[in-house]
């Protein structure tokens, strides 16, 4: 309000109060994020108990995967349209304090899978593996091939590929936050397993090597320095689609650019498209072409969005229903060169 009662009186400076409040909120979220990275810390948080609705004749199975590297539980969605021979597989990696069910509900990925005849495997990272059920993306042993969580997840993907008769061109990985960081790692170190990756609000492999550097990368951005070189094979390079909110105060938006730079180099020039989602959020979509002229990396920077799955459903945690539909665009991107 601009109405002034007494011209000579000093006008109260109210702006400082909300500014402090916003800063405090950011600090508290960052402190909680730091706690989630520390082993043995009991955060007292419980994962949301939700159950996705399953269409008639579709299946949603609780399974356990065991391998030489370790074991994890997972939920497997098999579409009614292709229950025995799905056309492809997406390995989904939830964020901190989430569960496979919560992630399935929030991303509504099952509906997309039903539409396209895909199987979805929601891997489960529990409090026994990390205090806040985060994938441990910042540990050096989880940033290389053949060990730790990447080896477990790649073995799970290979097992399902064999079960459903799928080739690498039809196998994809996607994740949110810590799950997004782990998806980026899998794209780097297992290009023989995954043909494309979706990274939502995540970080590049090698952005951190411990808790301190992880907090720095989350707060102000991190580079992929110090990571072992990306593994390359004779097959096509792993394509990547990246989503990030430009108002994300949990994982700094600059981390999206680090993932792009690791994939195509820092000097690559994209084609940029600006638009607005049906929910009202503006965004800039940047496309980076590979050597064959096809899109190798697609980056979506979403205006005003925080740390949440774009276009998600409010019944799930960490979702933003106003943004463009990340699930639909990820599958569109995945299937562009599959088959």
User: CA–CA separation, 94 vs 111, rounded Å?
Assistant: 17
Tell me, what's the pLDDT at 44?
Answer: 44
Is residue 13 a part of any domain in this protein?
no
> In the chain, what percentage of residues exceed pLDDT 70?
82
Tell me, what's the pLDDT at 30?
Answer: 57
Buried b (16+ CB within 10 A) or exposed e, 72-103: bebbbbbbebbeeebbbbbbbbbbbbbbbbbb
What are the distances in angstroms from CA 112 to CA 108, 121, 164, 189, 258? 7, 13, 19, 27, 29
What pTM, to 2 d.p., does this model score?
0.87
Confidence of residue 19 (pLDDT cuts 50, 70, 90): very low
Count of the separate structural domains present in the chain: 1
Is residue 3 a part of any domain in this protein?
no
Is residue 28 a part of any domain in this protein?
no
Domain carrying residue 194: 49-335
Q: What is the mean pLDDT of residues 4-10?
A: 40
68-113, pLDDT tens digit by residue?
999 999 999 999 988 889 999 999 999 999 999 999 999 999 999 9
Identify the CATH number of the domain in which residue 325 sits: 3.40.50.1820
120-167, pLDDT tens digit by residue?
999 999 889 998 999 999 999 999 999 999 999 999 999 999 999 999
Q: What are phi and psi of 294, to 5 degrees?
A: -80, 160
Asked whether 63 and 38 are in contact (CB, 8 A), the reply is: no
The answer, yes or no, to whether residue 5 has pLDDT greater than 80, is no
Is residue 27 a part of any domain in this protein?
no
Nearest to 296 by CA among 241, 339, 216: 241
Is residue 17 a part of any domain in this protein?
no
């Amino acid at each position: 309000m601009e109405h002034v009662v007494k011209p000579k009186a000093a006008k109260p400076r109210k702006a400082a109060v909300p500014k402090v409040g916003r800063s405090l909120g950011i600090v508290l979220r960052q402190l909680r994020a730091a706690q989630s990275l520390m082993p043995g810390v009991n955060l007292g948080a419980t994962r949301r108990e939700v159950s996705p609705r399953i269409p008639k004749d579709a299946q949603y199975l609780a399974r356990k995967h065991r391998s030489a590297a370790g074991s994890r539980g997972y939920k497997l969605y098999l579409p009614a349209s292709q229950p025995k021979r799905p056309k492809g597989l997406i390995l989904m990696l939830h964020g901190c304090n989430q569960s496979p069910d919560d992630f399935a509900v929030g991303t509504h990925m099952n509906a997309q899978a039903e539409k396209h005849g895909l199987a979805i495997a929601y891997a489960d990272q529990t409090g026994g593996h990390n205090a806040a059920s985060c994938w441990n993306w910042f540990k050096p042993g989880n940033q290389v091939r053949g060990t730790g969580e990447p080896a477990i997840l790649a073995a799970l993907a290979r097992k399902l590929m064999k079960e459903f008769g799928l080739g690498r061109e039809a196998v994809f990985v996607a994740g949110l936050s810590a799950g997004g960081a782990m998806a980026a790692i899998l794209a780097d170190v297992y290009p023989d397993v995954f043909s494309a990756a979706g990274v939502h609000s995540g970080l590049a492999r090698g952005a951190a090597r411990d808790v301190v550097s992880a907090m720095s990368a989350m707060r102000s951005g991190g580079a992929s320095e110090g990571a072992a070189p990306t593994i390359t094979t004779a097959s096509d390079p792993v394509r990547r689609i990246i989503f990030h909110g430009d108002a994300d105060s949990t994982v700094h938006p600059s981390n999206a650019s680090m993932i792009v730079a690791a994939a195509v180099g820092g000097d690559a020039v994209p084609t940029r498209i600006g638009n607005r989602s049906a929910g009202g959020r503006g965004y800039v979509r940047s496309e980076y072409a590979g050597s064959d002229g096809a899109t190798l990396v697609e980056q979506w920077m979403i205006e005003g969005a925080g740390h949440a799955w774009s276009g998600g459903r409010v019944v799930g945690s960490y979702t933003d229903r106003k943004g463009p539909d990340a699930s639909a665009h990820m599958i569109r991107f995945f299937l562009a060169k599959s088959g």
